[in-house]
């Protein structure tokens, strides 16, 4: 599956229109993007530019109005465990313990019990959750919950990992440590990651390529490759230069977003 010649994830002419005639919102317009195996791609843009819409289309939750998405060699039609998702709101099952949350996807795959136990143990270790294995999500901090969500997604062994602002609700320190952990996991498991964020710094810290999106209609404004070696120094000159350049781009879209809001209020 990790055939380098063909992309792991291919987005071809994808558009998405919400609402009915008269009140249409063009959330995505003619998106073309090709992501190779093992790549870390960030989708960056202001609120409402269609980042989640694109991610949900890849995940198979809501299909594009036109165009198609090919993931792991098959056209996306339904959600599936070959495109594991980590949500901003954690989306852990509150009635399941940490261990049960992680093993749920494995049970569905009908994996032998002994194997599940072993795998869950490994993931608990890896994400430093061992002491929490019998706790319910309500007893965990935001950072811990997101660790569980990542472990749950990793359990599926899916080649693609989709993440929708997974660290958006966390404080700066927790966020940084989870970013580092994610990079470690990404390198160890050789995942293809599509990571949505509206933090410029986060995207430069993580990504191989940053896809900057425009606001209404949501299109790709520019694709910015980040060639800095890891671990990246957020205070280095190169980092800051890229940050300035991206700020400029995102700001333009942000202004359009604000203008749109104001017009909306006037109307």
Partner 1 sequence: MTDKKSRLKNGMAIFKRTLHGSIVPVVLLIAWEALTRSGFINPQILPAPSQVLLKWIAYLKPLEPYDPANMSYLAWLFSGELPHDALASIIRVVGGFAIGAGLALPLGLLMGGSARFYQLMNPLVQLLRPIPPIAYIPLAILWFGLGNPPAFFLISLGAFFPVLMNTISGVRTVDEIYIRAARNLGARGATLFLRIILPAATPHILTGLRVGIGVAFIVVIVAEMIAVNNGLGFRILEAREFMWSDKIIAGMITIGLLGLAIDTGMDRINRYLLRWHRGMDQ
User: What would the two tokens of residue 229 be?
Assistant: 């070696």
52 lies in the binding site for Mg ion (CB under 5 A):
yes
53 lies in the binding site for Mg ion (CB under 5 A):
no
198 lies in the binding site for ligand ATP (CB under 6 A):
yes
Name the residue nearer to Mg ion (CB basis): 52 or 214.
52
Minimum distance from residue 106 beta carbon to partner 1 (Å) = 9
Q: Which residues pair with 26 in a beta bridge?
A: 17
Name the residue nearer to ligand ATP (CB basis): 19 or 73.
19
Within 8 A by CB and 6+ apart from 163, the residues are 85, 86, 193, 194, 195, 196
Q: Which one of residues 25, 96, 169, 238 is an interface residue with partner 1 (CB under 8 A)? A: 96
Name the residue nearer to partner 1 (CB basis): 51 or 152.
152
Minimum distance from residue 156 beta carbon to partner 1 (Å) = 7
Place of tokens 């202001």: 46
152 lies in the binding site for partner 1 (CB under 8 A):
yes
Within 8 A by CB and 6+ apart from 143, the residues are 170, 174, 177, 178
Name the residue nearer to ligand ATP (CB basis): 84 or 211.
211
Q: How far is CA 235 from the centre of its chain?
A: 25
Residue 91: phi, psi to the nearest 5? 55, 30
- What mask of x and - would describe binding to ligand ATP in positions 8 to 47, judged by CB under 6 A? ----------xx-----x-x-----------------x-x
**Neighbouring C-alpha atoms within 13 Å toward the C-beta of 135:** 13
* Distance (Å, whole) CA 77 – CA 20: 22
Say how many C-beta atoms besides its own lie within 10 A of residue 155's C-beta.
23
Residue number of the CB atom closest to Mg ion: 52
Name the residue nearer to ligand ATP (CB basis): 54 or 140.
54
Q: Which does 198 bind (CB under 5 to 8 A by kind): ligand ATP, Mg ion, partner 1, none?
A: ligand ATP
Q: How many residues bind partner 1 (CB under 8 A)?
A: 26
- Coil, strand or helix: which one is 14? strand
94 lies in the binding site for ligand ATP (CB under 6 A):
no
Quickly list DSSP for 100-137: HHHHHHHHHTT--HHHHHHHHHHHHHHTT-GGGTTS-G
Q: Which residues pair with 40 in a beta bridge?
A: 193
87 lies in the binding site for partner 1 (CB under 8 A):
yes
* Distance (Å, whole) CA 9 – CA 263: 37
Residues lying near Mg ion in the complex (CB under 5 A):
52
Residues lying near partner 1 in the complex (CB under 8 A):
59, 61, 78-81, 83-85, 87, 89, 91-96, 104-105, 108-109, 136-138, 152, 156
């Amino acid at each position: 599956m990790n055939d380098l010649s063909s992309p792991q994830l291919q987005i071809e002419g994808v558009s998405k229109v919400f609402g009915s005639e008269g009140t249409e919102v063009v959330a995505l317009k003619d998106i073309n993007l090709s992501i190779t195996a093992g790549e870390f791609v960030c989708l960056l843009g202001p609120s409402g530019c269609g980042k989640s819409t694109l991610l949900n289309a890849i995940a198979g939750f809501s299909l594009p109005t036109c165009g198609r998405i090919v993931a792991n060699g098959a056209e996306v039609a339904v959600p599936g465990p070959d495109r594991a998702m980590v949500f901003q709101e954690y989306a852990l099952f509150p009635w399941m313990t940490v261990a049960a949350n992680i093993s749920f996807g494995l049970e569905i795959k009908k994996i032998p019990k002994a194997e599940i136990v072993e795998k869950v143990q490994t993931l608990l270790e890896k994400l430093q959750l061992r002491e929490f294995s019998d706790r319910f999500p309500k007893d965990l901090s935001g950072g811990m919950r997101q660790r569980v969500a990542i472990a749950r997604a990793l359990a599926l062994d899916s080649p693609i990992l989709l993440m929708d602002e997974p660290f958006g609700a966390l404080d700066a320190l927790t966020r940084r440590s989870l970013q580092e952990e994610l990079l470690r996991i990404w390198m160890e498991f050789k995942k293809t990651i599509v990571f949505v964020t509206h933090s410029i710094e986060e995207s430069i810290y993580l990504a191989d390529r940053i896809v900057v999106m425009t606001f209404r209609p949501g299109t790709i404004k520019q694709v910015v490759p980040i060639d800095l070696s890891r671990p990246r120094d957020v205070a280095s000159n190169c980092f800051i230069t890229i940050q300035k350049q991206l700020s400029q781009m995102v700001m333009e879209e942000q202004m359009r977003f604000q203008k749109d809001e104001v017009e909306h209020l006037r109307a």
